[in-house]
Amino acid sequence: MSVSVAANDSRVLLRLEEFLPYRLVILSARTSNAVARIYAERFQLTIPQWRIIATLGQYPVCTGRDIALHGMMHKSTVSRAVAALVKRGLLRKEPNAYDMREEHLRLTDEGRAIYEAVVPQARAFEEEITAAFDPAERKEFIRLIEKLDAHTRKLAPDHDPDA
């Protein structure tokens, strides 16, 4: 017995623009692209390069693997961005005495200066985005993001994308 279902049957139709995972990806891309203007125009940084600088601004010494896991980036993306940042003198590599297969990464003084210059602008951008909410809505929005993040971590725990 063959069952034919109309293409617009609500049981099978997925309206992509109403599908939460898609909406989150689009919102993330729009937000990321908008904030990228802050560091791209003035400092000629790509999104992965900025994420590395921001991570090392928060955690002064990391490995490429640490950064990849923290930023949910592929190891090869991190590797290319690290190479570019080292070449520009914004990052330095130091041997890891405990594991010679990896290196510790640190911001140089120039890299730290870029981080410190971008942070206030990034914070102002965050305020601008969340200006769409009143203070109670903003607090609730952050709470819901944290709740959704915790739940999705249970559904799909962070893992090494290269494993």
| Residue with the two structure tokens 């993040």 | 149
pLDDT at 100: 77
In 3-state terms, what secondary structure has residue 136?
helix
pLDDT at 160: 52
- pTM here? 0.81
pLDDT at 159: 57
pLDDT at 158: 63
pLDDT at 4: 52
Burial class (CB in 10 A: 0-12, 13-18, 19+), 106: middle
CA distances from 158 to 49, 78, 118, 148, 163 (A): 21, 16, 28, 14, 11
User: pLDDT per position in the chain (163 positions), as tens?
Assistant: 454 555 556 667 899 999 999 999 999 999 999 999 989 989 999 999 999 999 999 999 999 999 999 988 999 999 999 999 999 999 999 988 887 788 999 999 999 999 999 999 999 999 999 999 999 999 999 999 999 999 988 888 765 554 4
Provide φ and ψ at 59, rounded to 5°. -120, 95
In the chain the domains, ranked by start, together with CATH numbers, are 19-155 (1.10.10.10)
| Angle between helix 20-43 and helix 109-130 axes, rounded to 10 deg | 130
- 133-142 contacts at long range (C-beta below 8 A, 24 or more positions apart): none
Alpha carbon 17 to its chain's center: 22
